[in-house]
Amino acid sequence: MKRKLLAIGLGALMAISMAACGSGSSATSTAASSAATADDTGSVVTDTDAQSLAQSIKEDAGTNDGSLITVGFSQVGHESDWRTASTNSVKEAFSKDNGFDLQFVDCDNNSETQLQSVRNFIQQQVDYIIIDPIVSTGWDTVLTEAQDADIPVIVIDRTIDDSDKYTAWIGTDTKNEGLAAGAWLKDYAKAKGISDLNILVISGTTGSSAQIGRTEGFDQYVKSEGWNKLDEQTGDFTQDGGQQVMESYCKSYAGKFNVVVCQNDNEAFGAIDAMKAAGVSYGADGDVIVISFDACKAGLQMVLDGDINADFQCNPLQGPDCAKIVKALDAGQDVEKETFMAEPWYAHDDTVKSVSYTNNAGKDVTEDMIVVTQDIVDAGY
Ligand code: AHR
């Protein structure tokens, strides 16, 4: 595939100088996201940032003699520990040493910024585009534009559900995560002699495939087991969001709930802080069962400590497999349309040793619940 170094350099510089002049939002988003390359804070770019970034891109362009594969990565944002691990995984895999020239855009959980970032990559004629889609719909037009520009798109992590105009997807089946959580809760409650389950859910970003899949999977058990789901509100996959929702739940449902399902670890951290402040006991020795997703290092530590009862991993380390896909495409090879990451399930104790459920592919599976040890925490992401 022909390399598009010059176009990238000029396109990026144009966008940055527009940002420096305070022009349209699309240019600002490109510059802001590129600033995140230098300083992973996702903070908004200033004129000075834009000028120094322009200089650094000029220098970068000077180091790409045309042999590097140019890749634009439109990342969701920086909302969670999971997201940081995902960003690092892609940046490491798409290094210059590995033969790539990566442009990174932190979209700060803003779908308009994300669509614009992809359009900027198209305009800059990168060789490949990687997208981790904030929401699962609204993609067909921009993917058609990428296809018309002959730029393959690789989707990672979350899915795009209203268009198939991408070359490959690599990620996790979030419905299976929700199903496994439901199967675990069913067996755990039975083993503990808890017959009434009154459940509060703190969901992830509304419309993201991670939220949709985990909700669908878990709700299948809510329905089949006749559990009482008291409420479900979004915490947007953030610690602050989880804390705020839980503070309000603790007031509205005081004494009425015995399960909290947080759709990621950062929400669980916030929810636990809120329960602590409200004097609610939780976890392995408490009144409220806490379920979480992601199983990041800090989440696993809380499972080990007994604050979170069970944690269902969503694997963020997609960079190396994604880089393999791009290299294969670049060599003219065919690639799989879908690649699923392996995901273990973790618990504080061995009350439930394994979970059995019918997975999203319609297959009956039995999977281990791994009891967390310090070694597992230390090896976590
Ligand atoms: O899409 C993956 C989800 O997004 C992770 O569960 C969450 O932590 C992140 O924000």
> What's the pLDDT tens digit per position in 153-166?
999 999 999 999 99
* Ligand 1 near 210 CB (within 6 A): yes
Q: pLDDT (tens digit, 9 = 90+) per residue, 258-275?
A: 999 999 999 999 999 999
* Ligand 1 near 294 CB (within 6 A): yes
Ligand 1: atom nearest CA of 265 is 8
**pLDDT higher than 60, residue 56:** no
Residue 144 binned pLDDT confidence (cut-offs 50, 70, 90): very high
Question: CA-to-CA distance for 167 and 4, rounded, in angstroms?
Answer: 20
At 66 the pLDDT is: 84
Closest residue by CA, ligand 1 atom 3: 210
**pLDDT higher than 90, residue 186:** yes
HSE of 111 in the Cβ direction (CA atoms, 13 Å)?
13
pLDDT, averaged across the chain: 88
Residue 59 binned pLDDT confidence (cut-offs 50, 70, 90): very low
pTM assigned to the model? 0.85
* Ligand 1 near 79 CB (within 6 A): yes
Chain centroid to CA 22: how far? 31
**pLDDT higher than 70, residue 102:** yes
Q: What is the mean pLDDT of residues 198-220?
A: 98
Cα 145 to ligand 1 centre (Å):
27
**pLDDT higher than 60, residue 201:** yes
For tokens 């595939």, the residue is 1
Residue 4 binned pLDDT confidence (cut-offs 50, 70, 90): low
**pLDDT higher than 90, residue 334:** yes
